[in-house]
Amino acid sequence: MLRIKSLKQIDFDSIYQAFREAFVDYEIQLNKRELDRMLQRRGFIAELSFAAFDGDKIASFTLNGIGCFNGLKTAYDTGTGTIREYQGQGLATQVFRYSEPI
């Protein structure tokens, strides 16, 4: 059974691995350093980001950031992905909806 939880205590290597697997078919690939820099620029906050886990493995994720929009502190999606073997199950939607009230 999959469970959704915060990425607060998840190591960056696990997040990177899930990101890499979710976007394996994309023309442009980011290495670990590039992903880290991109997420920093986008205001990524691990405790406000969530994933569906299959055991210890991230199956689907929403990486959320905090920034200002029209002068208001705003949370926003900086990257959402689902690993191929879990696609088509609505996991990304479930993870995103889980994160909305938080």
CA dihedral 7, 10, 13, 15 (to 10 degrees): -20
**Do the Cβ atoms of 47 and 7 come closer than 8 Å?**
yes
| pLDDT (0 to 100) of residue 102 | 86
Q: Which domains does the chain have, with CATH numbers?
A: 3-99 (3.40.630.30)
Strands across the sheet with 50-54, in order? Answer: 3-6, 50-54, 57-69, 72-82
pTM above 0.85, yes or no: yes
| pLDDT (0 to 100) of residue 36 | 96
Averages of pLDDT over each 10 residues, the chain, 102 residues: 95 97 92 96 95 97 92 90 96 94 88
3-class SS letters over 35-51: HHHHHHHCCECHHHCEE
**Location of structure tokens 């569906």:** 52
